[in-house]
Amino acid sequence: MSTKIKRNAPIALLIKDFANKKSGKVSESRVEIKRRFEFLDWKDQKKIMQLFLDSGKVDREWAYSMLIDYWDKSFEKKIKALWEEYHEAKCSWIIQRYFPVKFLLDHFDEFTGDRDYYFLCLRLAEDKEFIIDKSKLSQTDYLSVIYHTGRNIEENEAEQILYEVVHDTCLDCEPWFAINKYKDVRKGEIMGPSLFQNVAHILYYLQKMDHTNVTNAFDAWNERVQMAIFESPEFKKIKLREINEGVYKNEMIKLARKYSYLSLNDKYKKESDPTIEEMLKPKHYYIIAPIQEQLTAEPEKKEESPMASDPALLDDLITQNPAVERLVKNFELETNTDELPF
């Protein structure tokens, strides 16, 4: 038995049913209008966006999102009125992108969202007399504004920003699962500071602004950090462990942060910096755990035997059994150290 295909209602009928709040078909029409929107004629798209702007908050916010890509100056008066009445965040996105510069300057203090200053700078900093307040921007956003508005910075500032971002990433004690801040590495590869996402963004803008002296010097420094990791006792232990890709990446993140920090010029370090041990503790280790300990009294546990996958077990075997020690040494001698994994 064949299923009957539902035929599309005319878009004019859907618009009419959505506009008539007593039609009983508002929700059904809303879904269908959104589904078809990008394939409609411009005159119907304009009519729909106007209708949604006159509706409730959820519908207004959908219309704001559409206007980012389908902006037309005919909406300026309506958007201005909605901004003055509601001051909604998504409405401000349209204003910052499309309204005249004079309006932005006259209403500058009204834009208080987290990224508002960045988007305002992208418009206002094209005027070279506009002074950028660097303290209100992240280092990445600052360089983005500089580059996209046709400005540039001195070489010493470029170098300072780059290594300050390395420093801050090393001290960013996020939980282990915040690995999206770092680019991927496969097992056997070495992660260097160039694979920190924020550092990669800084390098991108510096290359775009032709700061090749800074980026070339960084590349050489990055290789030295990778070599220090490769020769470290921690990496040699990792090579002996049976671990999956996710755990390997997490271990490499810790090593990259540690040896990047140790390799930094002292002028980029601060007296308030934590010790290496404290630096590598994820936030949840020393914030959440103490709270849990206060709430629940842990029963005393008997000492458990180490699991077979525990790397500490191998260390014990090496200590207690000379034959195992010789086997491990032979294994390391057979490793091809001429081809470094980076």
Residue 301 falls within a domain, yes or no?
A: no
pLDDT in tens, 45-100: 999 999 999 999 999 999 999 999 999 999 999 999 999 999 999 999 999 999 99
pLDDT score recorded for residue 338: 45
Quick one: three-class SS letters along the chain?
A: CCCCCCCCCCHHHHHHHHHCCCCCCHHHHHHHHHHHHHHCCHHHHHHHHHHHHCCCHHHHHHHHHHHHHHCCHHHHHHHHHHHHHHCCHHHHHHHHHHCCHHHHHHCHHHCCCCCHHHHHHHHHCCCCCCCCCHHHCCHHHHHHHHHHCCCCCCHHHHHHHHHHHHHHHHCCCCCCCCHHHECCCCCCCCCCHHHEHHHHHHHHHHHHCCCHHHHHHHHHHHHHHHHHHHCCHHHHHHHCCCCCHHHHHHHHHHHHHHHHHHHCCHHHCCCCCCCHHHHCCCHHHHCHHHHHHHHCCCCCCCCCCCCCCCHHHHHHHHHHCHHHHHHHHHHHHCCCCCCCCC
Residue 230 falls within a domain, yes or no?
A: yes
pLDDT score recorded for residue 185: 83
Give the distance, in angstroms, between the CA of residue 149 and the centroid of all CA atoms in the same chain.
Answer: 23
pLDDT in tens, 287-338: 444 434 444 444 455 555 444 445 555 565 556 666 656 665 655 544 444 4
Residue 281 falls within a domain, yes or no?
A: yes
pLDDT score recorded for residue 233: 93
Residue 103 falls within a domain, yes or no?
A: no
Residue 210 falls within a domain, yes or no?
A: yes
pLDDT score recorded for residue 333: 43
Question: Are residues 166 and 260 in contact, defined by beta-carbon separation less than 8 angstroms?
Answer: yes
Question: Are residues 288 and 221 in contact, defined by beta-carbon separation less than 8 angstroms?
Answer: no
pLDDT score recorded for residue 60: 97
pLDDT score recorded for residue 140: 95
pLDDT score recorded for residue 336: 46
pLDDT in tens, 2-33: 677 778 899 999 999 999 988 899 999 999 99
**Which residues pair with residue 182 across a beta bridge?**
196
Q: Is the pLDDT of residue 236 over 80?
A: yes
187: left (phi over 0), alpha (psi -120 to 50) or beta: beta
Residue 309 falls within a domain, yes or no?
A: no
pLDDT score recorded for residue 289: 40
Tell me how many domains the chain contains.
1
pLDDT score recorded for residue 1: 53
**What average pLDDT is seen over the chain?**
85
pLDDT in tens, 257-285: 999 999 999 999 999 999 998 888 766 54
Residue 262 falls within a domain, yes or no?
A: yes
Residue 307 falls within a domain, yes or no?
A: no
Domain of 160 in residue numbering reads as 154-293
Q: Is the pLDDT of residue 146 over 50?
A: yes
Contacts 24+ apart (CB under 8 A), 140-146: 140/165, 140/198, 140/201, 140/202, 140/205, 141/115, 143/201, 143/202, 143/205, 143/206, 143/209, 144/118, 144/205, 145/118, 145/121, 146/205, 146/209
